Structure 1
Amino acid sequence: MSTPNGTGDDGTDFADSDEPTTVYDLAAGCTLDDIDSGEKYVGTVNGVVEYGVFVDLSESVSGLVHSSNLIGSYDVGDEVIVELAEVRPDGDVSFTEVQLADYVREQVGPGQEVTGETLPDAVGDEVHLDGKVVQIKQTGGPTIFQVRTASAVVPCAAFEEAGVRAYPDIELDDVVRISGTAETREGYTQIEVDSIATLDGEARETVTERFEKAGPATPADVEPLIDWPAFEKLRGDLQTVAARLRETVLEGRPIRMRHHADGDGLCASVPLQYALEQFIEATWEDPEAPRHLLKRLPSKAPFYELEDVTRDLNFALENRKRHGQKLPLFLMLDNGSTEEDTPAYRNLTHYDVPILVVDHHHPDPEAVEGLVEKHVNPYLYDEDYRITTGMMSVEIARMIAPDVTDDLRHVPAVAGLADRSDADAMDEYLALASEEGYDKHRLVDIGEALDYATYWLKYNDGRELVNDLLNVNCDDTERHERLVDLFTERAERDVETQLDAALEHVTREELDNGAHLYRIDVESHARRFTYPAPGKTTGKIHDKKVEETGDPVITIGYGPDFAVLRSDGVRLDIPEMVAELQAEVPGGGVSGGGHLVVGSIKFVSGMREAVVDALVEKMADAEIDEDLGSSAVISE
């Protein structure tokens, strides 16, 4: 039964409102300045005497609940809900007990509440911040907790003995309240921690709801650079990838970006690297975060090799142990769609790491299904390689960081020319690049310069050099021009030297379907260990023969255990041929793939003649289609 003032016979407060009463739980660093008259607070009994109980609200706020203001019976360590009764001139504090029928508990930190956005405005002040721990790094001095708020990540330095882990009970993904002082350090703002408390129940849910309402992972709603119905089919998938990458940054998970080391692979990876770094800089207070959270890694083969995955896993496991990083998300660009990728993927499944694939090579969707989180490929929408990975990735980059758009308008055209896309949309991409000052000849030069650079860079990402060649995130246009001129000139010189030697050894025959077949043993009749590589050499020979004849042409460049294939005017289905050869040539060890009209095949050296002969027989039965051009040059 309640009294007219809303209080029960036992002193329990029955609020007239349907909403439960809020009871505040003060953080350890709170002072009397953080307490308001009339509000309810949870305290802990630290002493029991004849005339009442002493209660702690925080490390510096304690007081007496006199027996006349005490409703229940308590022991040391019990919790009790109180209101402020009086602060005497000598500083003594007294409280009144309150018992509530229904209440919610809310954590309160000392000073003002801040977020990642408002922290720089509070330098020198006592603050508190609610968020999720996304990284814990032990330095030689403090322990650095990276704490995610609704849309930013804040470094919080907790000091213990030098090199000793502070707050060892705090773990990754804990939702916490950090209390301390906002301070500037080496150009960025951090919180120097006084206390960390985990949030549970409703308090944790409140923080999680803030993340969902803020929607920081939602990609920007940008219009595509061109209106292309074929491309529109993939737009939803591209938005999903953009959202996943933004969320990955905010959750503190590193991203390892694996891309094919060719023109299209670079046109895909460099814009995404640029956009992700912009997003990291905008959301992480730590200026070193872009370097630690993102790695761009070229792959020489057009698939994820076991050699690469072994290095990647070792690097990731070391970083988890030494720097408190989560295991990374793997982003595969211009590779990753085929059965050849699956051994590497199976290695990654042992560590439960997510994999995203954005590719335009002919896929084996059933092979990679269940091994990758998201697989974006135009073939899955009845399109083909003419939608290049660079074209798709530029749109993802713009969804992640729209401000990069002006630096990327020419890149899809470079990607399309580098990968020989004959899509109708190429005219629009070329027009877009022309508006930015690039004619078609210059775009081809950029692609050649990128190809030349990646050959010599090997496994190095060549970040600054590649940025300058592609003119993305480049601060000197004149330097870009000079570098492209230099690299193009040297590439042309090396190609001419290679062809002068190799063309003398090219053999020709006419197939039953009327196509011209050219063969070259690139292992014996081309310079090794220099530019151009066997795949590029085969491509250049092929282009020369197409120009000379104007007829349907197939070119095979082979070595002891591989063959590189190019065709114009002949509808080869190289992935299907590979599947058939695997069944028809026992012991051949056949593997490979690529696009429909360009690809590479591997086999055991002792079976080269049998594999190549069987391959030629299939080519002789292929359909002639003079409107069908060849696609990307395969790097070997």
Structure 2
Amino acid sequence: MGSCIICGVDVDGGGRICDSHQEDVAFDFQGNSPDQLVPSRFYRGVVDGYAEFGVFVDLAPGVTGLLHRSELDRRLDSLDWEPGDEVFVQVKGVRDNGNIDLAWSIRQADREFRGILVQDGDTEHLPDEGEDETDADDAADGSGSVDTETAEDGTDESAASGSETNGSETAEPEPADVGDDESDDVGDDTDAAASANAEEAESEAEGDDNESDATDENDLDDDRERVEIGTLSDAIGESVRIDGEVVGVRQTGGPTVFEVGDETGVVDVAAFVEPGVRAHPNVEVGDAVRIDGEVESHRGDVQVESEALVLLDGAEAEAVRRRLAEALTDEARPDGLQPLAGDESVAQLADGLLDAAEAIRRAVLESRPIVVRHPATADGYVAGAAVERAVLPLIREEHAKSDAEYHYFTRRPLEDPVYDMDAATNDATRMLQDRDRHDEKLPLFLLVGTGSTVESADGIDLLSVYGVDAVVVDAEVADAETREAVDTLVSPEIDGVDADLSTGALVASLASAVNDEVRADLRHLPAVSYWEETPDRYVDLARDAGYDAERVAELREAVALEAYYQSYQDKRELVTDLLFEDGGNLAAHVSEQFREKLETEVGTASENVVTEAVDGVEFALLDTDGYTHRYDFPPTPLLLDDLHRRNANGEAYATVGIGTDELYLRTTADVSVRDVAARASELAPAADVTTAGLREGKIEFLSGERDAVEDAIVAAVADAF
């Protein structure tokens, strides 16, 4: 029976990873049959080539899988992989015919996994466990010859096995001797080559002050002065001391990597005991530490190779935390709010917007992930993209890792503009996995265009159980009851501000407060977020930024179309291309598809609309089950919006789209959807009529009572006019 390399529990069958940590490690596959692959595991592979529908990846000689383009988190043509490149993928499953379905892995380096294992057919072991037993025994007791070959995880075996005892303490080999280009965590080529000499490696190991369980300040060089992490890019090759707080820990197949932050930034610190073994197991996220080490540049990222690492306590730990707190206070709060286009209604919401901006900036400075939730609509995408545009540069400035923006910022569109239990359960599951598996801090949740009504109460309550911070920014309907449920709520309706704002317009001004340096990039976004009656101030602002009315319409329609497809994915690169970096061709092309699809659907629907007049109100009724393509663009809410805009005449007009167990309501008067649902529930008591979404006018009911509900809704709307 083996033991899990992460948690140490016994594993049946001699395996080296328990069931709960299967997805925390990456496997080097040395088998010869697809049937030996384990679904849901992550494997190292090599790009074999491209096809129109995806990428072929070799997991072993003769074992090739397909990463279909639908599994990518970006466009296939934006993928920068070349044939022969080493990549990581997840095995979704193996079909009866031997075809291997692969999934995308956001982790694309050894260091981003908590360990590396070799799967040799149906067995698994650490990369160094396949060596000759005699050599392994010699390495274990420090005697015998030192194997200078490099292990599969990029760790030089002489450094891994050449430690010797010194009294009652064990000296660690210097991390500078560990690592080559195969490891993303430690060393450069010069140091790796130097460690190939076994006698030199042993000599250096004897004189190393970095002990495997270093917890004593005597391990440090007392003459060394602290340097700020933000200056390390100018200190490549130098030995430095840093003081900071541990903001993350991950175990790789080689060293343990600690993410350490001070008041100026965050850097990776690599500490090595032996391949895949946790260094400094007593050091956890939130601890104050002092580190002596050498600054290295590896594949463009700055990192520190630890020579000694100690926990700080007492006055020294307090000094670290005080510096961080003071820096947070100074940096997190924006100087002020300058609304885009000088919008006075936005200015009236300045206090709340500055609180929201401070929460976002503070999360970046605390190395706390940010999760943005927004509806999968044009307005929702504009709002989410505005925040993304502002936050990503701040993350790049704060973190030395080039891929930090993918770890610390996530945008997750919602199919419905309600933050319900389904969305909250998804978020809670992810954040708890990241906390338990990767020692990540719990995230800040930013809900834009959602989360402000009582229909989202259950989802918000689930987050609050774990004490996570939630910020809600919504320009449309909001309920006063939600103010107490979230940490910050910004809403014109809550604050009594009479405004013709979209959520995209409101959040664009918020984004400019978060990062004023991107202000010029945001000027056209408010105009894009309105489907009709765009305020002149935002039309003029977009025009000044080079976006005339036609161009703004193309962007709006293109974003709306792309929001529908793969609605659960953020499509970060595609949305960036559309909204910020497109010279015109992409948006124009997608916009043309939008119009063709919408016109086709509107034409079909218009032929099947049933009209009737009740108590002076004209109704247009559409059976959305029978006369729309339910699983193709446009979505029902967008279709009904367009039908209503085209056909509404006079002040007493209502459009109702009714399906199996839900309906959508559009009216020319200010009719309360909740009041309509409540009245319909009285008229059809057996139908369980409830409001499902104020923003999109959505009402749900029991499918068996559909006819009764249709009559009840018509009567209730007529009463409301």
Considering the TM-score relative to the shorter chain, is it more than 0.5?
Answer: yes
Whether the 8 Å contact between 1:133 and 1:148 is mirrored in structure 2 is yes
Answer yes or no: is 1:399 the counterpart of 2:501.
Answer: no
Whether the 8 Å contact between 1:506 and 1:519 is mirrored in structure 2 is yes
Answer yes or no: is 1:180 the counterpart of 2:180.
Answer: no
Q: Which amino acid aligns with 1:557?
A: G
Aligned to 2:540: 431
Q: Structure 1, residues 84-108: CA drift from partner, whole Å, max 9, x if none?
A: xxxxxxxxxxxxxxxxxxxxxxx98
Aligned partner of 2:407 among 280, 284, 292:
292
Q: 1:390, 1:196 → 2: CA distance? A: 47
Matches within 5 A, 1:37-56: none
Answer yes or no: is 1:540 the counterpart of 2:642.
Answer: yes
Q: Which amino acid aligns with 1:273?
A: E
Aligned partner of 2:657 among 517, 540, 557:
557
Q: Structure 1, residues 534-589: CA drift from partner, whole Å, max 9, x if none?
A: 2222122212213xx35542111111111111122x12122343355456643433
Aligned to 1:618: 716
Aligned to 1:143: 256
Quick one: structure 1 residues 154 and 109, their matched pair in 2 at CA, closer, same or farther if it must change by over 3 Å? farther
Answer yes or no: is 1:571 the counterpart of 2:677.
Answer: no
Q: 2:638, 2:704 → 1: CA distance? A: 25
Q: Which amino acid aligns with 1:535?
A: P
Q: Report deviation, 1:594.
A: 4.9
Aligned to 2:501: 387
Q: 2:370, 2:551 → 1: CA distance? A: 32
Aligned to 1:491: 594
Q: 1:200, 1:529 → 2: CA distance? A: 59
Q: Which amino acid aligns with 1:566?
A: R
Q: 2:526, 2:643 → 1: CA distance? A: 26
Q: Report deviation, 1:313.
A: 2.6
User: How many residues matched?
Assistant: 501
Answer yes or no: is 1:603 the counterpart of 2:706.
Answer: no
Q: Structure 1, residues 192-217: CA drift from partner, whole Å, max 9, x if none?
A: 11222233332233223322433222
Aligned partner of 2:271 among 158, 161, 173:
158
**Bigger RCO of structures 1 and 2 (CA < 8 A, at least 6 apart):** 1
Whether the 8 Å contact between 1:261 and 1:454 is mirrored in structure 2 is yes
Whether the 8 Å contact between 1:259 and 1:265 is mirrored in structure 2 is yes
Quick one: structure 1 residues 344 and 213, their matched pair in 2 at CA, closer, same or farther if it must change by over 3 Å? closer
Matches within 5 A, 1:116-515: 116-214=229-327, 215-366=330-481, 368-383=482-497, 386-415=500-529, 417-418=530-531, 420=532, 426-470=535-579, 472=580, 474=581, 477-478=582-583, 481-512=584-615, 514-515=616-617
Q: Which amino acid aligns with 2:488?
A: K
Secondary structure (helix, strand or coil) at the match of 1:301 reads coil
Whether the 8 Å contact between 2:474 and 2:503 is mirrored in structure 1 is yes
Q: Which amino acid aligns with 1:571?
A: D
Secondary structure (helix, strand or coil) at the match of 1:195 reads strand
Secondary structure (helix, strand or coil) at the match of 2:338 reads coil
Q: 2:656, 2:498 → 1: CA distance? A: 23
Q: 1:421, 1:132 → 2: CA distance? A: 50
Q: Report deviation, 1:442.
A: 2.4
Q: Report deviation, 1:590.
A: 2.7
Aligned partner of 2:627 among 518, 522, 525:
525
Whether the 8 Å contact between 1:362 and 1:575 is mirrored in structure 2 is no
Matches within 5 A, 1:61-80: none
Quick one: structure 1 residues 314 and 594, their matched pair in 2 at CA, closer, same or farther if it must change by over 3 Å? closer
Q: Which amino acid aligns with 1:156?
A: V
Whether the 8 Å contact between 1:388 and 1:421 is mirrored in structure 2 is no
Q: 1:538, 1:154 → 2: CA distance? A: 51
Q: 2:469, 2:565 → 1: CA distance? A: 31
Whether the 8 Å contact between 2:559 and 2:578 is mirrored in structure 1 is yes
Q: Determine what percentage of the aligned residue pairs are the same residue.
A: 35
Q: Which amino acid aligns with 2:662?
A: F
Q: Which amino acid aligns with 2:490?
A: V
Q: Report deviation, 1:269.
A: 0.4
Q: 1:581, 1:173 → 2: CA distance? A: 54
TM-score, structure 2 normalization:
0.66
Whether the 8 Å contact between 1:498 and 1:537 is mirrored in structure 2 is yes
- Whichever of the two has the greater Rg, that structure is 1
Whether the 8 Å contact between 2:676 and 2:717 is mirrored in structure 1 is no
Q: Structure 1, residues 7-36: CA drift from partner, whole Å, max 9, x if none?
A: xxxxxxxxxxxxxxxxxxxxxxxxxxxxxx
Quick one: structure 1 residues 421 and 144, their matched pair in 2 at CA, closer, same or farther if it must change by over 3 Å? farther
Coordinate RMSD, CA, aligned: 2.3
Q: 1:376, 1:585 → 2: CA distance? A: 37
Whether the 8 Å contact between 2:624 and 2:657 is mirrored in structure 1 is yes
Secondary structure (helix, strand or coil) at the match of 1:457 reads coil
Q: 1:399, 1:469 → 2: CA distance? A: 23
Secondary structure (helix, strand or coil) at the match of 1:184 reads strand
Q: 2:222, 2:610 → 1: CA distance? A: 80
Q: Report deviation, 1:229.
A: 2.6
Secondary structure (helix, strand or coil) at the match of 1:394 reads helix
Quick one: structure 1 residues 157 and 447, their matched pair in 2 at CA, closer, same or farther if it must change by over 3 Å? same
Secondary structure (helix, strand or coil) at the match of 2:433 reads helix
Q: 2:692, 2:475 → 1: CA distance? A: 12
Q: 1:109, 1:165 → 2: CA distance? A: 26
Whether the 8 Å contact between 2:338 and 2:347 is mirrored in structure 1 is no
Q: 1:305, 1:320 → 2: CA distance? A: 22
Q: 1:131, 1:579 → 2: CA distance? A: 57
Q: 1:587, 1:572 → 2: CA distance? A: 24
TM-score, structure 1 normalization:
0.74
Q: Which amino acid aligns with 1:239?
A: L
Aligned partner of 1:588 among 672, 682, 687:
687
Q: Report deviation, 1:265.
A: 0.4
Whether the 8 Å contact between 1:113 and 1:129 is mirrored in structure 2 is yes
Q: 2:453, 2:413 → 1: CA distance? A: 18
Quick one: structure 1 residues 383 and 521, their matched pair in 2 at CA, closer, same or farther if it must change by over 3 Å? farther
Aligned to 1:22: none
Whether the 8 Å contact between 2:378 and 2:559 is mirrored in structure 1 is yes
Secondary structure (helix, strand or coil) at the match of 2:289 reads strand
Matches within 5 A, 1:70-109: none
Q: Which runs of 5+ in 1 are unaligned?
A: 1-58, 60-106, 624-636
Q: Structure 1, residues 116-146: CA drift from partner, whole Å, max 9, x if none?
A: 2222222222211121111111111111111
Q: 1:333, 1:109 → 2: CA distance? A: 50
Aligned to 2:154: none
Whether the 8 Å contact between 1:145 and 1:155 is mirrored in structure 2 is yes
Whether the 8 Å contact between 1:110 and 1:179 is mirrored in structure 2 is no
Q: Report deviation, 1:352.
A: 2.7
Q: Which amino acid aligns with 1:588?
A: A
Q: Which amino acid aligns with 1:313?
A: A
